[in-house]
C-alpha cells in the first residue's frame, strides 16, 4: 500500500499555509522597504507564528528568504533582525551596485525597445506622483523598483536577484532620514537615465547611473527606531 503524505491528503490546507507564508513575506518586505519596520527591529519567531498562524518552520523559511533578499540579518543564537548595514558595508555595496548596474545599462541600451522604455517612463511618473502626493512609502518602494526593473530587462534572473538584494539593502541606509521636501528627488535622476536609454545612448545612460548612485551614497543613514510587530504586520485580512 502506498503512503500518502499529509500534503496530499489536505491540499487545501497546504495551499492556505503557503498563501499565508507568501503574505507574511510580502508584508514584512513592504514594511521594511516602506520604513515602517526600522533597522535592528527583531522579528521574533513566536510573534510571527501568532500573527500569521504559521508553524515555526515556515516562519523560518520566510525569514531565510528575506535574508537572501538582503533586508534581514539572521544572527546565531539571537534571531532575525531588520538589516542595519554600517557605513563601510554601505560604501562597498554602492561600489558593487555601480559596477553591476552600469554594466547592465551598457548591455541593455542598444537593444531596448520603445515599449520597455515607456514602461520605465511610466514607473518614473508613478514615482513622481507618489512624491507629489506625500506618499513616502510608495515613493521609496517605486524608487527601488526602478532599478530592479532595469535588471529584469536583461533577462538574467541571477542578475535580477543580485540587484534586488543590494538595492533593498542600500535603501535601508539612504531613505530613513531623507526628507520628501528636499531637493534631491530620485525620479529626476531616473528620468535622465530613461531619456538616455530612449535615445539609445548607452554611454550617457551609464554616466547618469553612476552619478545617481554616487548621489545616493551621500545620503544620511536612518536612525534606529523600534516598533511592536503587531502594530505593523498582519493588519490586512483577506
Looking at the structure, tell me whether residues 48 and 91 fall in a common domain: no
Pairwise CA distance, residues 124 & 129, whole Å? 9
Per residue in 218-229, pLDDT (tens digit) is 764 444 455 566
Give the pLDDT confidence of 32-69 residue by residue, as tens digits.
887 788 888 999 999 999 999 999 999 999 999 999 98
User: pLDDT digit string (tens) for 172-194?
Assistant: 776 554 554 444 468 999 999 99
CA dist., res. 225 & res. 231, Å (int): 14
| Same domain for 74 and 155 | no
> Does residue 2 sit within a domain?
no
Examine residue 1 and state whether it is found in any structural domain, yes or no: no
Predicted TM-score (pTM) of the model is 0.77
Q: Residue 2 has what pLDDT?
A: 45
Number of domains making up the chain: 2
Residues 179 and 114 in one domain: yes
Same domain (yes/no): 97, 53: no
User: Do both 25 and 56 map to the same domain?
Assistant: yes
What is the structure's pLDDT at 184? 45
At 197 the pLDDT is 95
- 72 and 111 fall within a common domain: no
pLDDT number for residue 126: 96
**Does 71 lie in the same domain as 45?**
yes
Domain of residue 69 covers 11-84+224-231
Inside any domain, residue 95? yes
Q: 39 and 102 share a domain?
A: no
* CATH number of the domain encompassing residue 64: 1.10.10.10
Q: What is the pLDDT of residues 120-139, one digit of tens each?
A: 999 999 999 999 998 888 88
Amino acid at each position: 500500500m502506498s503512503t500518502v503524505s499529509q500534503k496530499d491528503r489536505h491540499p487545501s490546507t497546504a495551499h492556505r499555509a503557503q498563501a499565508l507564508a507568501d503574505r507574511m513575506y510580502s508584508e514584512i518586505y513592504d514594511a521594511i522597504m516602506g520604513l515602517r519596520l526600522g533597522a535592528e527591529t527583531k522579528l521574533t519567531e513566536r510573534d510571527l507564528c501568532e500573527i500569521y498562524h504559521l508553524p515555526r518552520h515556515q516562519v523560518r523559511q520566510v525569514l531565510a528568504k528575506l535574508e537572501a533578499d538582503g533586508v534581514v540579518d539572521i544572527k546565531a543564537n539571537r534571531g532575525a533582525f531588520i538589516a542595519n548595514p554600517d557605513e563601510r558595508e554601505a560604501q562597498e555595496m554602492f561600489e558593487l551596485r555601480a559596477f553591476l548596474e552600469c554594466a547592465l545599462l551598457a548591455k541593455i541600451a542598444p537593444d531596448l525597445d520603445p515599449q520597455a522604455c515607456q514602461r520605465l517612463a511610466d514607473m518614473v511618473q508613478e514615482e513622481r506622483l507618489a512624491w507629489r502626493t506625500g506618499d513616502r512609502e510608495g515613493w521609496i518602494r517605486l524608487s527601488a523598483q526602478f532599478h530592479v526593473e532595469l535588471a529584469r530587462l536583461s533577462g538574467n534572473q541571477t542578475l535580477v536577484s543580485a540587484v534586488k538584494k543590494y538595492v533593498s539593502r542600500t535603501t535601508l541606509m539612504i531613505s530613513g532620514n531623507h526628507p520628501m521636501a528636499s531637493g534631491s528627488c530620485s525620479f529626476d535622476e531616473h528620468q535622465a537615465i530613461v531619456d538616455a536609454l530612449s535615445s539609445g545612448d548607452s554611454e550617457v545612460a551609464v554616466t547618469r547611473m553612476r552619478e545617481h548612485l554616487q548621489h545616493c551614497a551621500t545620503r544620511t543613514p536612518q536612525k534606529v527606531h523600534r516598533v511592536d510587530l503587531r502594530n505593523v504586520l498582519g493588519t490586512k485580512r483577506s
